[in-house]
């Protein structure tokens, strides 16, 4: 039956709801309204952001389409030809490479703080790790440009070329002239920035492991490594996954730190030692230079794609996290 306000079924439902609200204390009613309003504001902000980005990028959407814009490498403001492929490639490479570099380090720190570290060192190391999250990203960028990039160009990247660069397939990732302003340095900076997020969440999750489970494993003759591997990590894996998802969201949207050490080369390259571009870096470097409507609309189109990409990746990660949580609860 189609919806109609005069329908008796809905009128009876409204009467029941009003009766229930009247029975609730006034404080509960106010609290419920405030909570609902806060949740509604969040949803409104998300949908309004989508609406604004779509509206501003509509000119580029109609001119270039969706698939053509996503898979086009050219980014030429002079000819008015724009494509997101190079920026998307740089965004995905720096994000996932930073996770590969950060996850082992972060888990090692979390395990050290919870199970190995002397009590006197836990507090200062924990505070130092959390302080890394409070450092502004532009400070990371300046440090990366003036300190880390020369170290990478003179020592780290030549060493990787002489070792991993000689391997048959992996070697293509380490070709080119080491300059320190490239995908590898940008990913390394990102990994340092997301380590505190993974470490803090993983440490708290590992600390929730019941002592009786660890003591039982020790009583059965397990070593410290076996307790960590077979007891603590399986018990805390959902919290660790949550920390990784949180770090993934931070890495996808980072701008200033990456802009200092990545360059702005709109090309898809197989070498990690070449300059590249990400969506956030392109927006930061070129937004004030957009001198035509199609140029500005293309930049908004990039922002729109980044918003959707972040939403999809985090939604998929959350889906697998919830799936793992259900399986763990069973």
pLDDT digits (tens, 9 = 90+) for 94-109: 999 999 999 999 999 9
pLDDT classification of 17: cutoffs 50, 70, 90: low
Beta carbons within 10 angstroms of residue 218's beta carbon: 14
Angle between helices 85-111 and 183-207 (to 10 degrees): 40
pLDDT for position 2? 46
Written as six digits, the tokens of 201 are 């969440």
pLDDT for position 245? 86
User: Taking the CA of residue 326 as centre, how many other CA atoms within 13 Å lie in the half-sphere pointing to its CB?
Assistant: 5
pLDDT for position 236? 87
Q: Which residues of the chain does CATH 1.10.3720.10 include? A: 84-329
At residue 152, φ and ψ (nearest 5 deg) are: -65, -45
Which CATH superfamily does the domain covering 84-329 fall into?
MetI-like (1.10.3720.10)
pLDDT digits (tens, 9 = 90+) for 241-253: 888 888 888 888 8
- Average pLDDT of the segment spanning 79-88: 91
pTM, 2 dp: 0.83
pLDDT for position 156? 92
Residue 75 β-bridge partners:
82
pLDDT greater than 80 at residue 174? yes
pLDDT for position 23? 62
Greater confidence, 27 or 61? Answer: 61
122 with 110: CB under 8 angstroms?
no
pLDDT greater than 50 at residue 112? yes
For residues 288 and 37, give the distance between their C-alpha atoms in angstroms, rounded to a whole number.
36
For residues 242 and 234, give the distance between their C-alpha atoms in angstroms, rounded to a whole number.
14
- Average pLDDT of the segment spanning 300-320: 87
pLDDT digits (tens, 9 = 90+) for 144-167: 999 999 999 999 999 999 998 888
pLDDT for position 18? 63
pLDDT digits (tens, 9 = 90+) for 247-277: 888 888 888 889 899 988 888 988 999 999 9
Greater confidence, 169 or 58? Answer: 58
- Average pLDDT of the segment spanning 40-64: 92
């Amino acid at each position: 039956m189609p919806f109609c306000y005069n329908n008796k079924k809905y009128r009876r439902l409204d009467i029941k709801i009003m009766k229930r609200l009247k029975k609730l204390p006034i404080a509960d009613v106010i609290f419920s309204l405030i909570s609902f309003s806060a949740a509604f504001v969040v949803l409104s902000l998300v949908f309004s952001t989508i609406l604004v980005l779509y509206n501003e990028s509509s000119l580029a959407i109609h001119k270039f389409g969706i698939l053509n814009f996503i898979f086009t490498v050219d980014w030429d403001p002079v000819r008015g030809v724009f494509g997101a492929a190079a920026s998307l490639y740089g965004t995905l490479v720096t994000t996932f490479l930073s996770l590969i570099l950060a996850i082992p380090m972060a888990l090692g720190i979390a395990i050290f703080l919870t199970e190995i570290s002397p009590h006197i060192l836990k507090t200062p190391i924990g505070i130092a790790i959390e302080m890394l999250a409070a450092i502004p990203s532009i400070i990371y960028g300046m440090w990366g440009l003036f300190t880390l990039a020369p170290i990478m160009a003179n020592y780290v990247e030549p060493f990787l070329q002489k070792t991993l660069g000689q391997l048959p397939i992996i070697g293509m990732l380490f070709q080119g002239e080491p300059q320190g302003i490239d995908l590898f340095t940008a990913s390394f900076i990102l990994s340092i920035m997301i380590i505190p997020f993974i470490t803090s969440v993983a440490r708290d999750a590992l600390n929730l492991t019941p002592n009786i489970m660890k003591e039982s494993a020790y009583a059965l003759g397990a070593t410290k490594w076996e307790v960590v591997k077979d007891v603590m990590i399986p018990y805390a894996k959902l919290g660790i996954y949550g920390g990784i998802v949180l770090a993934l969201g931070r890495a996808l949207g980072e701008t200033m730190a990456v802009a200092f050490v990545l360059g702005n080369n709109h090309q898809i390259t197989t070498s990690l030692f070449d300059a590249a571009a990400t969506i956030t870096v392109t927006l930061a470097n070129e937004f004030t230079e957009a001198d035509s409507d199609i140029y500005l609309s293309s930049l908004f189109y990039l922002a729109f794609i980044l918003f959707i990409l972040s939403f999809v990746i985090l939604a998929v990660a959350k889906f697998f996290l919830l799936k793992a949580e259900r399986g763990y609860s069973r």
